[in-house]
Chain A
Amino acid sequence: MEEAPSKRKHKKGFTKDQWTAVAFLIPSIILILVFVYGFIGWTGYVSVSNWNTLTPDFSFAGLKNYIYLFQDFRFQADLRNTVFFTIFFIGLVIVMGLGLGILIDQKLKGESFFRNIFLFPMALSFIVTGVVWQWLLNPSTGINQFFQFFGITPKWYTDTNILAGFEWGKIEFGVPVAIIAVVIAAVWQMTGFSLAMYLAGLRGIPNELREAARMDGASEFQIYRKVVIPMLMPITVSVIIIMAHISLKIFDLIYAMTGSGANFVTDVPAVYMYEATFKGNYYANGAAIAIIMLLVVAVFIIPYLWNSRKGDN
């Protein structure tokens, strides 16, 4: 962002201002190097060691821990759950955020009231959301007491069925019904965020564009489909990236709401990582899960960062 000073660069060395800037940056750079990248490196090192009891053992294990994980029922289930959680969560957050954003953008009365209502869940922590929705979606209490008047009692997060499942490795690959309950809670919490993003985006689209489209005889629906939504593309990309890194690393919501679930239908890698490391003392396995999670998130984040860097230049 602050590219301007470097353009003024003298031929020899930095100016005094630049030295100052560097001096002020050094402490945080050192801290980040040690506490972020240093520890990522350390985790990577542990993940290829044999440290799977309370006694540290740093002998080289190669990819043993990774191979173990990919052959493990629980980890395979975790990958499946993460895939479907991420797809549903991001999809719904975008659709509902955009939908509510467009509604609020209609300059209705009480706009700020509704905006605040929709934004409010974001102020809660995932732990609170998890506990509340654990009660709401409890199969024997919660909203099922209302549903049973209509003769339907979904089992929510205790359902162990896998929809459209087929054998894959050790697990049945398909949509775990139980994960839908968790998706509902997560969407409830995070929709406000995408709503806020889309609302800002909508307000940033010049009215002239809509006017021009109207002059050309486009219907309101066509205006949104052909003009507004394409112009919101950068926002959508940002929402996807931010939501993806939340959903791929999700821990607190699952831990508070459902735990691993029967047959690991709501388990995710972060919960497995915590239990393997701190309950089973499988430090190397836990570190391997952490590294896999890092790589998966990197697949999403790095192209985005790359792109935005190019954009800046």
Chain B
Amino acid sequence: MKKLYGFFFILSLVLVLAACSSGSNDAEGSSDSDSEGGESSSTVEIFSWWTGAGEEDGLLALIDLFEEENPDLTIENAAVAGGAGTNAKAVLATRMEGDDPPSTFQVHGGDELNEGWVAADKMQPLNDLYEENGWEEKFPEELIELVSKDGDIYSVPVNIHRGNVIFYNKKVFEENGIEEPETFEEFFAASQKLKDAGVTPMALGDKNSWPATQIFENVLLGVLGPDDYKKLFEGEIPFDDERVVEAVETFGKILDNINEDHAARNWQDSAQLVANGEAAMLNMGDWAKGYFVNDLEMKTDEDFGYFEFPGTKGEFQVVTDTFGLPKGIENPDEVKKFLTFLGSTEAQDVFNPLKGSIPARTDADESKYDAYGKEAMKDFGESRLVPSLAHGSAAAAGFLTKANQAVNIFVTQRDVDNFIEALKTASQEM
């Protein structure tokens, strides 16, 4: 009997230990499990939040093309659903802190990369990759700056979205005799006209705060201009500068023109308001174009039009998805091969037309893109590029979280002093 009990005791211990170790093994499991297919095949795990309609197709097309060209490598798609990467970023943070980095992961260029993962010493520089491929001439200089820290380049930009676009319902504009406004004055005049006609001038869905923050950053850009906008986030201009106060006041005036149920909507719901004519305009990154065209079956330049956010003509609010090389992965050479592929025109021209974004390289094949894409590519080449706050490029995640909170409070309270104070306090730890 005693032996039997001893046996059970040992057995239970073994089971417990097995349970523990299998938990931690999951980490490397991703690379181990695929080696069943043959010793020579190696796995590269790509982590992203590309699960939406067009973007998932783009990602899968990328993976297929790469695997075709490199039969000895397997790509594992580790995408986490959730718009703007809200959930994916949380999962990524857990994995990185747990020393279980994916082979490469989607990260917005700018401070999300530089002040986040690079500052935390979790990334490897990719200067050699840039030299080998001559990429320093192929990507715009201001874009490379966005993915560099202290002279080292840390990631490969794959696509570009533009944040300072206003989409509008063409029919509503025509019915009310409104032209595309270029200045804030024209914008507010148009808004008044729409209001008088019983149309909500501006659609907003800020169930998650970032669409409201996005309006604010565009107002900042419109008021400050590209150089001072950058200086503001580099700490050279304080947040209680009178032009920032002016921007906050303008932001408040724009908020007088939004739909009442904004807090119950996400950005897609707010785009629907524009689609069905209840609201006239929507400030959204140009991923909204894909939503209008693919999901709501509207025609570009027929059913909906677009123009630059007032005061930001010739400026390009950059939202760029980039991929870097984390420290502590097993097969950096294979991952570099994949990153080289992601930086090629071939890959960018496969992915971007499907995703509805434009390539980060300036030498891509224009004929593969639709009318909007062609125009955006032209603007991208000619405009000043500035980093977006709402998408984590202009400031570190900590500041962004606090800015989002301050925006959320401001949308309801409209207390300018409070808002400025909150931004100033938050910027001190930037």
Contacts and interface: CB of A to CB of B under 8 A. Distances in A.
A168 to B, nearest CB: 15
B424 to A, nearest CB: 15
B317 to A, nearest CB: 21
Given A55-B120, A259-B207, A279 B263 contact: no
B116 interface: yes
A87 to B, nearest CB: 23
Interface stretch (B50-58, B141-149, B403-411): B403-411
B264 A140 contact: yes
A23 interface: yes
B261 interface: yes
A174 interface: no
Contacts of B409: 73, 263-264
Given A16-B2, A280-B398, A281-B116, A158 B264 contact: yes
Contacts of A31: 16
Nearest to B119: A55
Contacts of B86: 279
B405 A74 contact: yes
Interface in B1-39: 2, 5, 8-9, 12-13, 16
Contacts of B117: 54
Given A155-B261, A261-B263, A263-B408, A52 B2 contact: no
Given A27-B13, A55-B119, A279 B89 contact: yes
Given A155-B260, A260-B408, A279-B90, 11 more contacts: A20-B5, A27-B13, A53-B120, A54-B120, A55-B120, A139-B264, A156-B264, A160-B412, A264-B409, A279-B86, A281-B396
| 6 cross-chain pairs, A with B, having the tightest CB-CB distances, nearest first | A280-B401, A278-B90, A263-B412, A54-B120, A262-B263, A158-B263
A55 B396 CA distance: 12
Contacts of B9: 20, 23-24
Interface string B189-211: 00000000000000000111100
7 contacts: A55-B119, A73-B409, A155-B260, A156-B264, A263-B413, A280-B397, A280-B400
Given A31-B16, A55-B119, A263-B412, A279 B397 contact: yes
Nearest to B392: A279
Contacts of A55: 119-121
Nearest to A157: B264
A20 B5 CA distance: 7
Nearest to A73: B409
Contacts of B96: 54
B94 interface: yes
B104 to A, nearest CB: 18
Interface in B357-408: 396-398, 400-402, 405, 408
A74 B401 CA distance: 12
Contacts of A260: 209, 408
Contacts of A259: 207-208
A137 B333 CA distance: 53
B327 to A, nearest CB: 13
Given A27-B13, A259-B207, A264-B409, A275 B401 contact: yes
Nearest to B266: A259
A81 B314 CA distance: 45
A258 B97 CA distance: 29
A301 interface: no
Interface of A: 16, 20, 23-24, 27, 30-31, 52-56, 73-74, 134, 138-140, 155-158, 160, 258-264, 274-276, 278-282
B264 A54 contact: no
B401 A282 contact: yes
Interface of B: 2, 5, 8-9, 12-13, 16, 86, 89-90, 93-94, 96-97, 116-117, 119-122, 206-209, 260-264, 396-398, 400-402, 405, 408-409, 411-413, 429
A73 B413 CA distance: 12
Contacts of B262: 158, 262
A262 B89 contact: no
A31 B18 CA distance: 13
A24 B16 contact: no
Contacts of B8: 24
A139 B397 CA distance: 32
A73 B120 CA distance: 29
A276 B116 CA distance: 15
Nearest to B20: A31
B416 to A, nearest CB: 16
A282 B398 contact: yes
A155 B12 CA distance: 56
Contacts of A278: 89-90, 93-94
A21 to B, nearest CB: 10
A275 B85 CA distance: 13
Contacts of B398: 52-53, 280-282
Given A16-B2, A138-B264, A140-B264, A281 B397 contact: yes
Contacts of B411: 262-263
Contacts of B94: 278
A140 B200 CA distance: 14
Nearest to A274: B90
B186 to A, nearest CB: 29
Contacts of B412: 160, 262-263
A274 B96 CA distance: 17
Contacts of A23: 5, 9
A138 B261 contact: yes
A264 B206 CA distance: 12
Nearest to B14: A27
Nearest to A261: B263
B261 A279 contact: no
Contacts of A74: 405
Contacts of B408: 260, 262-264
Nearest to A138: B264
A30 B86 CA distance: 35
A158 B261 contact: yes
A73 B404 CA distance: 13
Contacts of B260: 139, 155, 158
Give the interface centre of B97, B207, B264 by most chain A CB atoms within 10 Å.
B264
